[in-house]
Amino acid sequence: MNVPVLSNAQARHVFLARHSLADRPSGPGKGADLKAVIDHLGFVQLDSVNTFARAHDLILWSRREQYRPKALQHLLHRDRRLFEHWTHDAATIPIESFPHWRLRFERDAVRMEQRWKEWRRGDFTAKIDAVLRRISDEGACTSGDVGADETRGKGGWWDWHPSKTALEYLWRSGQVSVVRREGFTKVYDLTERVIPPEYLNARHHPAETIDWCCAGALDRLGFATSGELAVFWDHVTPAEAKEWCAKAQAEGRIMAVDVEGVDGKLRRSFAWPDLMDNPVPEVAGRLRLLSPFDPALRDRKRAERLFGFHYRIEIFVPAPKRKYGYYVFPVIEGARMIGRIDMKREDGRLEVRAFWPEPGVRMGTGRQRALETELDRAAHFGGCDEVIYAADWLRSN
């Protein structure tokens, strides 16, 4: 049987459309419109690094130019249209997905009980009941409100005292939920006080959740290997995703497709049967800045195969060994990754230190003007009064 081939150009367009990067970033960026963006993406990663804007805010601004951070906080903490939990990292997730997180809660509880006893300092399991009772009796708390008599570690974010570990365990296992954040500090309360009852009380069989995970990942990726489906939500195992693909293909629910990489090599993947029948999505030629944690770049290897864009965050690389910078933002134009930029908000100004175009990208007058226009927009979003450029900011490739 002949397997259809999705060309590299087609694959890029499909991929960007599924990640809400094909259209111009118009729309109010709040309320139902913002909720629809997050529904389409599946979730948005949360991150604390704030050299310019937090990752989740930049992800949403890249898709809705009018978006402002308060709109996400309203959906999360006022309207309860979203909840915060874990995929491959901390994320904000549509509230409708909460019942499918039950499987994640169960699996994380087992995993943490086995691993965290050795990984974390002290026996956190001995503190679980006390921490849970503290929240039940006295209300919402932060990690700073528990374990007052315990020694605080100095080894970094992972060096938690036992009660903080117990609190994180209770969150990851679904017994408490994030009710709000103060700054970027999580405030926890009992899950039954946070999650609306229609989602709190709903239950799904594990097989239903596995099907939901794999089908939902394929919806949002457009095409994928079983391994890529498994890591999308990070709920299901590679074996479960592989079994789902085999069963779904045998039933005619999905089909095999060969996806062309930027190097011309084909990669066997799966897609919905109508993928090749639908028109290839148009992609606006808009230039835009992306977060290093943007959903389109989260799978670094996939992004490199499709776009030829090799990207690594250098936060943990010693400064003298960095190739680009501490926290460098990818830049996309239409369906092409054109470079990366080192910039930082400093004293009310957006300081642009360097832009490195990708090989083969010519920074003519029009493209440079488009980049500067986008930086002006970014400065406004980030609360900066002006953009300051280093003398040698436009580097050669």
Average pLDDT over residues 179-198: 95
List Cβ neighbours of 349 (8 Å cut-off, separation of 6 or more): 379, 384, 385, 386, 387, 388
Flag whether pLDDT at 117 surpasses 70: no
What is the rounded distance in angstroms from the CA atom of residue 315 to the CA atom of residue 307?
Answer: 23
- pLDDT tens per residue across span 262-319: 999 999 999 999 999 999 999 999 999 999 999 999 999 999 999 999 999 888 888 8
Strand partners, 388: 351
Position 148 scores a pLDDT of 74
- pLDDT tens per residue across span 79-96: 999 999 999 999 999 999
Average pLDDT over residues 175-195: 95
- The DSSP output letter for 281 is P
What is the rounded distance in angstroms from the CA atom of residue 328 to the CA atom of residue 324?
Answer: 7
Residue with tokens 């259809």: 4
Position 151 scores a pLDDT of 64
- pLDDT tens per residue across span 13-70: 999 999 999 999 999 999 999 999 999 999 999 998 899 999 999 999 999 999 999 9
Position 149 scores a pLDDT of 74
Position 155 scores a pLDDT of 47
What is the rounded distance in angstroms from the CA atom of residue 227 to the CA atom of residue 94?
Answer: 23
Average pLDDT over residues 320-343: 94
Closest by CA to 121, choosing from 71, 80, 158, is 158
DSSP 286-300: -EEE--TT-TTTSSH
Average pLDDT over residues 183-190: 93
Flag whether pLDDT at 212 surpasses 90: yes
What is the rounded distance in angstroms from the CA atom of residue 204 to the CA atom of residue 27?
Answer: 34
- pLDDT tens per residue across span 160-171: 778 888 999 999
- pLDDT tens per residue across span 235-273: 999 999 999 999 999 999 999 999 999 999 999 999 999
Flag whether pLDDT at 121 surpasses 60: no
- Are 77 and 84 in contact by the 8 Å Cβ rule? The answer is no
| pLDDT grade for 159, boundaries at 50, 70 and 90 | low
What is the rounded distance in angstroms from the CA atom of residue 298 to the CA atom of residue 173?
Answer: 24
How would you class 237 by CB atoms within 10 Å of its CB: exposed for 0-12, middle for 13-18, buried for 19 or more? exposed
SS (H, E, C) the chain: CCCCEECHHHHHHHHHHHCCCCCCCCCCCCHHHHHHHHHHHCCEECCCCCCCCCHHHHHHHCCCCCCCHHHHHHHHHHCCCEEEEECCCEEEEEHHHHHHHHHHHHHHHHHHHHHHHHHCCCCHHHHHHHHHHHHHHHCCECHHHCCCCCCCCCCCCCCCCHHHHHHHHHHHCCCEEEEEEECCEEEEEEHHHHCCHHHHCCCCCHHHHHHHHHHHHHHHHCCECHHHHHHHHCCCCHHHHHHHHHHHHHCCCCEEEEEECCCCCEEEEEECCCCCCCCCCCCCCCEEECCCCCCCCCCHHHHHHHHCCCCCCCCCCCHHHCCCCCCEEEEEECCEEEEEEEEEEECCEEEEEEEEECCCCCCCHHHHHHHHHHHHHHHHHCCCCEEEECCCCECCC
Return mean pLDDT, the chain: 93
Position 152 scores a pLDDT of 62
Percent of the chain surpassing pLDDT 90 = 83
Strand 255-260, strand 5-6: pairing: parallel
The backbone torsions φ and ψ at residue 240, rounded to the nearest 5 degrees and listed phi first, read -65, -40
Closest by CA to 170, choosing from 98, 228, 85, 96, is 85
| pLDDT grade for 154, boundaries at 50, 70 and 90 | low
Position 162 scores a pLDDT of 83
Average pLDDT over residues 191-202: 97
- Answer positive or negative: Cα dihedral of 370, 25, 348, 338: negative
